Chain A
Amino acid sequence: MAKGLDCGTSFYIAATEDTIKKQRNAFLTVDGEVNQVKRMLKRQGIPFVEKANKVHIVGQHAFNYAQIFSTAELRRPMKSGLLNPTEKDSLPVLNAIIGELLGDAKDNETCVYCIPSKPIDVKRETSYHEDVLRTIIEQYGYNVKKIEEAVAIGYEGLVDTQLTGVAISMGAGMCNIAVMYQGMTALSFSVSRGGDWVDENVSMDTGVSKAKVTNIKETSTTLDLSSATYQNIYEEDTDEANVLIAIRSYYGALINYLLTNLKVQFEGVENVPNFPEAVPIVIGGGTALVKGFLDVFNEQFDQNEFPIPVSEIVLIEDAHTAVARGCLSEAQLIEEDDEE
């Protein structure tokens, strides 16, 4: 059975034809005598990973602990879309997460995982990140292939326009962009700003911890970035309103940064196709899930400044799992091709 794996900074998401599994990509190291800690965690049903006499709580439980205990340091195996070079304990955690999401392969199954495009605003290569993930997935017996994250979004959102248009994946660690023409990628790149960048800046501006800002962004029922709601909240002048206003302004800054860099990259690349007709911009990824996101995007978007005529700006259905589903489509087609 073909599998698609979205290896995100915040979430790892696996998709098969009948199941979607999500795992928060975070962990927290528990101090204390190893066997005692393990017994305690087992009793409470809290998932953990043990390696080299260290016990790490993994996933949503780690995230929840970090909300409650402000002193607890939530650790992230990935940062800015790539493996976190400062996090020495991340590989056993990633290994366990991937193992749980994919399981062992049966009969030469194919797994397509996503990789980021080359970032334009940080000096980092993506090859080590790609190799580590490939090696881990191969350990579980899969026939492994990779596709660019934004291309996976294109496979979900641009099929009705012959795979022509702009695909944007807005993740926690970075945003990936691909300009596609007839299924081919004319231009792809990434910027190392995403949902985490919004959270960090909101936290610094408002004095609320980053973990709490992330939690508000993901769970708040009152968070709505659309302009009408924004005006109402502004009048309330509460602490929550301050956070929501800051979130809105940093979302605007993030989208502006993205569109400005897309324009600059587009102008600097040779042999970019001319689009005779207007093409859509399709957006996926967890950072685009917040209510009113498209309102902010439309506010920042200026057709006169943008190098391509745009017909519409669309948020893909179930944007959080769009990359994993794009990877799944590719894996299914590879398996069908192999069978023939």
Chain B
Amino acid sequence: MVREFLFCSLLLWQIGLIIYILLNRFYGKEQKQNTKILSTPKVVEVELPTRKKEISHVDIEVKKQINTQKPTTSTVKSDEVIKGKVKTQKNKLKKLRGL
């Protein structure tokens, strides 16, 4: 009885071992490959746009609100008034500009 039990037990162990070896042979590598893919993602090469010129700031025109404060009353008269033809270089300037 004991001998039969040992024989059956040994047989079952042998069958189990053979199945393990066969399974390991056929699926063991794939499992390893799957593990690899999951742990090390592939590097994807993307062509980045090259910077053609340095980026500087952009200036904007500011429309200033200026309160020039007109006086309530003003009696200002010019300190000095010189009457007579005022001498300028307008004609020479005009000639130089080719106007």
Interface residues of A (CB under 8 A from B): 15-24, 38, 41-42, 47-52, 58-60, 91-93, 95-97, 99-101, 128, 131-132, 135-136, 139, 155-156, 159-160, 162-163, 183, 317-318, 325-326, 328-329, 332-333, 336-337
Per DSSP, are chain A's interface residues mostly helix, strand or loop, or mixed?
helix
Check B85 against A18 for contact (C-beta < 8 Å).
Answer: yes
Check B66 against A23 for contact (C-beta < 8 Å).
Answer: no
B69 within 8 A of A: yes
**Residue in A22, A139, A333, A337 whose beta carbon sits within 8 Å of that of B78 in the complex:** A22
B residues contacting the other copy or chain, number (CB 8 A)? 32
CA distance A317 to B30 in the complex (A): 101
**Residue in B76, B82, B88 whose beta carbon sits within 8 Å of that of A96 in the complex:** B76
Q: Which residues of A contact B76 (CB under 8 A)?
A: 23, 47-49, 58-59, 96-97, 99-100
Q: Which residues of B contact A332 (CB under 8 A)?
A: 88, 90
Within B75-97, which residues are at the interface with A (CB < 8 Å)? 75-90, 92-94, 96-97
**Residue in B64, B79, B83, B84 whose beta carbon sits within 8 Å of that of A24 in the complex:** B79
Who on chain A is nearest to B92 by CB? A159
Who on chain A is nearest to B81 by CB? A21
Check B79 against A59 for contact (C-beta < 8 Å).
Answer: yes
B43 within 8 A of A: no
Closest CB of chain B to A204's CB: distance in Å? 28
Closest CB of chain B to A181's CB: distance in Å? 13
* Sample of 18 more A-B contacts, CB < 8 Å, known A21-B82, A60-B80: A15-B86, A22-B78, A22-B82, A42-B75, A51-B71, A59-B76, A95-B68, A95-B71, A99-B76, A100-B74, A100-B77, A101-B78, A135-B68, A139-B70, A155-B93, A325-B89, A329-B89, A333-B93
Q: Which residues of B contact A96 (CB under 8 A)?
A: 71, 74, 76
Closest CB of chain B to A41's CB: distance in Å? 8
Who on chain B is nearest to A16 by CB? B86
Closest CB of chain A to B11's CB: distance in Å? 98
CA distance A100 to B81 in the complex (A): 11
CA distance A92 to B82 in the complex (A): 25
Q: Which residues of A contact B90 (CB under 8 A)?
A: 328-329, 332-333
CA distance A96 to B93 in the complex (A): 32
Q: Which residues of A contact B97 (CB under 8 A)?
A: 183, 333
Check B77 against A47 for contact (C-beta < 8 Å).
Answer: yes
A-B contacts, 18 of them at CB < 8 A, read A17-B86, A18-B84, A19-B83, A19-B84, A19-B86, A23-B78, A51-B71, A52-B72, A60-B79, A95-B69, A156-B89, A159-B92, A183-B96, A183-B97, A325-B89, A329-B90, A329-B93, A337-B99
Q: Which residues of A contact B79 (CB under 8 A)?
A: 22-24, 59-60
Q: Check A333/B75 contact, CB under 8 A, given A95-B68, A155-B89, A155-B93.
A: no
Q: Check A20/B81 contact, CB under 8 A, given A128-B64, A139-B68, A332-B90.
A: yes
CA distance A23 to B74 in the complex (A): 14
Q: Check A51/B69 contact, CB under 8 A, given A22-B79, A99-B74, A100-B78.
A: yes
Check B70 against A328 for contact (C-beta < 8 Å).
Answer: no
CA distance A85 to B96 in the complex (A): 40
Check B69 against A131 for contact (C-beta < 8 Å).
Answer: no
Closest CB of chain A to B76's CB: distance in Å? 5
Who on chain B is nearest to A96 by CB? B74
Within B12-65, which residues are at the interface with A (CB < 8 Å)? 64
Q: Which residues of B contact A155 (CB under 8 A)?
A: 89, 93
Q: Which residues of B contact A59 (CB under 8 A)?
A: 76, 79
CA distance A159 to B74 in the complex (A): 40
Q: Which residues of A contact B75 (CB under 8 A)?
A: 41-42, 47-49
Closest CB of chain B to A46's CB: distance in Å? 8
Check B82 against A20 for contact (C-beta < 8 Å).
Answer: yes
Q: Check A328/B96 contact, CB under 8 A, given A42-B75, A96-B74.
A: no
Closest CB of chain A to B85's CB: distance in Å? 6
CA distance A89 to B85 in the complex (A): 36
